Amino acid sequence: MCRVGAVERAKATDSVTLEPDDVRILRALQIDPRGGFAAMAAVLGLSEATVGRRYRRMVRQGVVRVTGVVDPGALGQSHWMVRLRCRPGGGTALAEALADREDVSWVVLGAAGSEVTCAVRSRSQEQRDDLLGRKLPRAASVIDLQASLVLRKFLGGRGSYWAALSGVLTAAEESALGSSENPFTEGPMTTREPVRLDPQDEKLLAALATDGRAGLVALGAAADLTAGRAGRRLQALLASGLVYLHVEVAPAALGYRVQANLWLRVRPSEVKAVGTALARMPEVGFSGALTGRDNVHATVHCRDLDELFDFTSDRVGVLPGVEGMEVSPVFRQVKQAGTRVSGDHLATPPPSPRRRQ
């Protein structure tokens, strides 16, 4: 699949059509999520007003959202991928209840609504134990629960981005915006010396979770800090790895209307190679190594079922070390990277501090 085709064929839901400049702005945001509109405009050859207008329209239409995401690994906590097999008719209510939790960042329905898959990012051991050890096992709709610890993320975390937009800007434009050569990071999942937060940090993180582009004055007001102190604390939190800025794009906005979970059985010696190869593929939005029999998981986005078949058989199935693969189509996305999903749109975010211009 041609990556540049994302510009030429990008469409959102039936009521939204993206133009090439919209897609270029999305790519610029991936490179620098808090970049000013004036700086983007200078690189993209547009006016500052045009960049701001197009960005705000895409936010209103549920195409894009920029958020600050807390990495529980920096707090010494772990990440879990959970698969729940449910009684007929019980999956939807359970998925909605999980999506309401702040420590559940991603929720999908599969198997025609009888399977729920979610990502758990608890910020404390007590919060994790309450969900995985008590609430879910006792849920009346749950028939079976499989919880896998995420050992390594190859794509889908701090410093990484979905590669579907790679190639929509020239190398010179990417360099001017500050792009690094490596679109993903591979590093430890937990910090040996966890970051300690104070109440002002918590307020700052809450404001960033609502709008990752909120200006320093608004962030300072939310955290009872001056704009200067808010800026310095934000940089310290980013440098520590506690929070990273994430640009969430509705896949349908780029023409990807079929989503699936891939559960791979990979020879242990090839897990890193397979995870890294998946992270470089534009169809893949997440790639990680898990505990358990299915030791590599990926979420993939394709334009149609034919493309999904070709992708899994011709691109993934032939990777050295892949011994087995389960393809589980997504019936409905309920929550995506901390953002609720409505149809093909990212749900309208709650009221937030004034956005950075």
* Ranges of each domain in the chain: 196-241
Angle at 145 between CA 143 and CA 151, to 5 degrees: 170
Which pLDDT score, from 0 to 100, does residue 4 have? 40
Residue 129 burial (CB count, 10 A): 12
* C-alpha to C-alpha distances, 220 to 191, 213, 352, nearest whole angstrom: 27, 13, 13
Which pLDDT score, from 0 to 100, does residue 6 have? 47
- Is residue 23 a contact partner of residue 12, using CB atoms and an 8 Å limit? no
Which pLDDT score, from 0 to 100, does residue 160 have? 64
One pLDDT digit (tens) per residue for the chain, 357 residues: 334 444 444 443 445 679 999 999 999 999 999 999 999 999 999 999 999 999 999 999 999 999 998 888 888 888 999 999 999 889 999 999 999 998 999 999 998 889 999 999 888 889 999 999 999 999 999 999 999 999 999 987 665 677 888 889 999 999 999 875 544 555 556 666 778 888 999 999 999 999 999 999 999 999 999 999 999 999 999 988 888 899 999 999 999 999 999 999 999 999 999 999 999 999 999 999 999 999 999 999 999 999 999 999 999 999 999 999 999 999 999 999 888 998 889 987 555 444 444
φ, ψ dihedrals at 118, nearest 5°: -145, 155
pTM for the whole structure: 0.85
Q: Are strands 64-70 and 80-86 parallel, antiparallel or unpaired?
A: unpaired
Which pLDDT score, from 0 to 100, does residue 190 have? 65
Retrieve residue 224's tokens. Answer: 């009872």
Q: What is the CA radius of gyration of the chain?
A: 20
Q: Supply the DSSP string of 34-57, one letter for each residue.
A: T--HHHHHHHHTS-HHHHHHHHHH
- Is residue 77 a contact partner of residue 132, using CB atoms and an 8 Å limit? no
Which pLDDT score, from 0 to 100, does residue 355 have? 44
- Is residue 224 a contact partner of residue 198, using CB atoms and an 8 Å limit? no
Per CATH, is 196-241 categorized as 1.10.10? Answer: yes
Say how far apart CA 318 and CA 133 lie, in whole Å: 38
Which pLDDT score, from 0 to 100, does residue 163 have? 80
Say how far apart CA 28 and CA 277 lie, in whole Å: 24
Which pLDDT score, from 0 to 100, does residue 97 have? 94
Say how far apart CA 293 and CA 249 lie, in whole Å: 31
